[in-house]
Chains A and B, each alone.
Chain A
Amino acid sequence: MSDPQAVSLLAVLFSAAVTDNILLTRFLGMCPFLAVSRQMKSALGLGLAVTFVTTTTAGLNAALYNHVLRPLGLHVGLKLIVFIVVIAAFVQLMEMLIERVSLTLYYALGIFLPLITVNCAILGTSLFMVSKDYSVAHGVVFGFGSGLGWMVAIVLMAGIRERLKRAQVPAGLEGPGIALIITGIMALAFIGFSGMVQL
């Protein structure tokens, strides 16, 4: 395993956001991405929410993993359940926050707000982070980069879909259909990044 200390934080950020993009390279976090990317405003809102959650839960989980689970030898068995409970609790907190701050965003996100809990991108971020043996500092940066990459992808998609409103999409393809095709093309493009940053 590479020496994490020697790896620059910038490289971690870049690889998490671009070359190892959690959505277009690892294909995690698809459901809310397809459903909420119709409008730029909600896409941006959800992207920010997801970034906030990935950053903080990556930090929390890194701290728990490195300083509590590992020393106690419980890291293999309890890792999954501890991570997901931390994420669930945090998303619950955030739901209450959003409901108080912006009711329009709250209703625009609908079911996809509680679904952030099971957004595979967030759990995936924590799991990748421990598989790369990151410290808490690297973990936070990795979580931030990961969420940022997800947000960039959903914002890109929202931009494309808003322009598509003027295009003539066949009735059956409207909505998820055309979104899937666009995502497929974006994913193909991102294959070009593979292996660019070896961490």
Chain B
Amino acid sequence: MAAPTTATNPRRQFLEQLWGDNPIFRQVLGICSALAVTNLMFNTVLMCLGLVWTVVMTNVTVSALRRYIPQRVRMVVEVLIIASYVIVVDIVLRARFPLIHRDIGPYVGLIITNCIVMGRAEAFAMKNGVWASLLDGLGAGLGYSAVLMTVALVREVLGFGSVFGMPLPARDLWWHSWTIMVMPPGAFFVLALVVWACRAYALRREEKRDE
């Protein structure tokens, strides 16, 4: 788990969040939404867009205000900021994409409680400049999205036999509905496998570097 840092190199921070310190398989954050929303790739993309927006805007705002936020109320202030950005997303969805809002509405609200947003705000944005915080948030959001899209691909193909809602070719010939992939326990297993793959790869790269 990452210790709070004062990074000097914003670009390095972006890349760190993307892989080396990835929110899911390194920091273990944002798991709840990862389980619920990844049974359909379309919903996952929307969730990730909403999350990237929120984490970037929150990081930027918290970082800009960091010298003025009193220690005693910092959580309340952070939460207010996060909630405001999420509510804006919710209202925009409700107004412009009502059908999507009907289907994933409650999960938009869950972005408020997505540990990644609060986690990065607390661990990074409170102690670093605006540009670095922006890149940190962007890296964290995109790293999270990459893992989630992989999980969603596996779950939707196995559970629904489709990709982005489009049925796979010759589906009736070879696909059998694997319902556990649609339910949350399936998400645990697929996520575990993705985490395993990522970590094994990272470990092997480290070994090669030591040789």
**Contact, chains A and B (beta carbon distance below 8 A):** yes
Nearest to A85 among chain B residues (CB) is B76
Nearest to A28 among chain B residues (CB) is B32
* B58: min CB distance to chain A, Å: 11
Residue from A92, A184, A191 in contact with B72 in the complex, judged by beta carbons closer than 8 Å: A92
Contact A88 B115 (CB under 8 A): no
Number of A-B residue pairs with CB-CB distance less than 8 Å in the complex they form: 134
The docked-state distance in angstroms from the alpha carbon of A31 to that of B113 is 11
Does B110 lie at the interface of the complex (its beta carbon under 8 Å from any beta carbon of A)? Answer: yes
The docked-state distance in angstroms from the alpha carbon of A143 to that of B185 is 25
* A30: min CB distance to chain B, Å: 4
A31 with B31, Cβ < 8 A, contacts A81-B83, A111-B122 known: yes
The docked-state distance in angstroms from the alpha carbon of A15 to that of B4 is 39
Which range holds the interface residue count of chain B?
A: 35 or more
Within 8 A of A (CB), among B54-92: 72-76, 78-80, 82-83, 87
The docked-state distance in angstroms from the alpha carbon of A172 to that of B202 is 9
Contact B79 A117 (CB under 8 A): yes
Within 8 A of A (CB), among B170-203: 180, 184-189, 191-192, 195-201, 203
Contact B113 A119 (CB under 8 A): yes
Contacts of B46 in A (CB 8 A): none
The docked-state distance in angstroms from the alpha carbon of A89 to that of B78 is 11
Contacts of A28 in B (CB 8 A): 32
Q: Among the listed stretches A1-9, A46-54, A58-66, A175-183, which one makes contact with chain B, having 4 or more residues with CB under 8 Å of it? A: A175-183
* B161: min CB distance to chain A, Å: 22
The 0/1 profile, CB within 8 Å of A marked 1, for residues 7-37 of chain B is 0000000000000000011011111100110
Q: Can you sample 27 A-B contacts with CB below 8 Å?
A: A27-B36, A30-B31, A31-B30, A31-B31, A32-B115, A84-B79, A88-B75, A91-B75, A92-B72, A92-B73, A92-B75, A111-B1, A111-B4, A114-B75, A118-B112, A118-B115, A171-B200, A173-B192, A174-B199, A176-B192, A177-B196, A180-B188, A180-B192, A181-B188, A185-B185, A188-B185, A191-B185
New A-B contacts (17) at CB < 8 Å, excluding given A91-B75, A177-B195: A28-B32, A30-B35, A31-B31, A80-B112, A85-B76, A85-B79, A118-B117, A120-B110, A171-B199, A171-B203, A172-B201, A174-B199, A176-B24, A177-B25, A177-B192, A181-B189, A188-B180
